[in-house]
Amino acid sequence: MIGSGQQQLDHAVQRFLDELTHSTGLTTSAGIGHAYPGWPSLAQSFVDARFALETGTRLHGAGRVFRIEALGLASFIGSDDRRMKEDLALRLIHPISADPDLLVTLDAFLRAHLSPSLAAQILHIHRHTLTYRLAKIAQVSGRDPRRFEDAAELYAALLLWNMNGAWRTFGQMAKK
């Protein structure tokens, strides 16, 4: 989810790009990478920004500001950078994992092929409870699992989360 400071930066950079286009006639774009702690991570931020710029421009054309998290599923399938994908997965799934019911609900809803009736049945909960939980997932992650594009991105993130053993670790923590 993009914070208000990031949104302000995006708007400021977009205004700069628009002014540059207006004054020079050249359409330019920008990529913004994740902010990682410490100077040694500056290179990773640059890699992220370059990926966002190249992928965003190919998908949406020039003249815009691009961030990895705004590229949706393309962020997972368009890059060979495992660290970037794992970081993105963590940023998407971690807020959901703070509530064990939300993570279980997301997993069941995706396994039910986005069918609310089937997911509620799998979870043994009322459909209204499912609707509430799905809305909460959308609120904390910035991705609405009821929208196909967001569900696909959440599914990719959850797959990476599972591949890295986070789900097993999460399950052990939830049992305590």
CATH number of the domain that residue 97 is part of: 1.10.10.2840
Question: Which DSSP state fits 164?
Answer: T
pLDDT at 130 over 50: yes
Averaged pLDDT, 138-158: 96
- pLDDT confidence bin for 34, thresholds 50/70/90: confident
**Poorest-pLDDT segment among 2-11, 14-23, 90-99, 101-110:** 2-11
Rounded Cα gap, residues 171 and 176, in angstroms? 9
Residue 46 lies in a domain: yes
Residue 19 lies in a domain: yes
pLDDT at 2 over 70: no
Rounded Cα gap, residues 48 and 79, in angstroms? 10
Domain count, the chain: 2
pLDDT at 22 over 60: yes
- What is the reported pTM? 0.81
Q: At which of 15, 41, 71 does a domain end?
A: 71
- pLDDT confidence bin for 40, thresholds 50/70/90: confident
**Poorest-pLDDT segment among 25-29, 152-156, 163-167:** 163-167
- Between helix 82-97 and helix 100-111 the angle, nearest 10°, is 120
pLDDT at 93 over 60: yes
Based on the fold, state whether residues 88 and 162 are members of the same structural domain: yes
Residues in the chain: 176
Closest CA to 52 of 29, 68, 36, 30: 68
Averaged pLDDT, 74-96: 91
Rounded Cα gap, residues 145 and 154, in angstroms? 7
CA angle, corner 17, sides to 13 and 18, nearest 5?
115
As given in the structure block, the two tokens for residue 14 are 């977009």
From the CB of residue 48, how many other CB atoms can be counted at a distance below 10 Å?
26
Give the SS3 label for residue 138: helix
Residue 10 has what pLDDT? Answer: 92
Q: Which runs of E-coded beta strand occur in the chain?
A: 30-32, 65-67
Based on the fold, state whether residues 131 and 103 are members of the same structural domain: yes
* Kind and range of the H or E run holding 61: none
- Between helix 127-141 and helix 148-163 the angle, nearest 10°, is 80
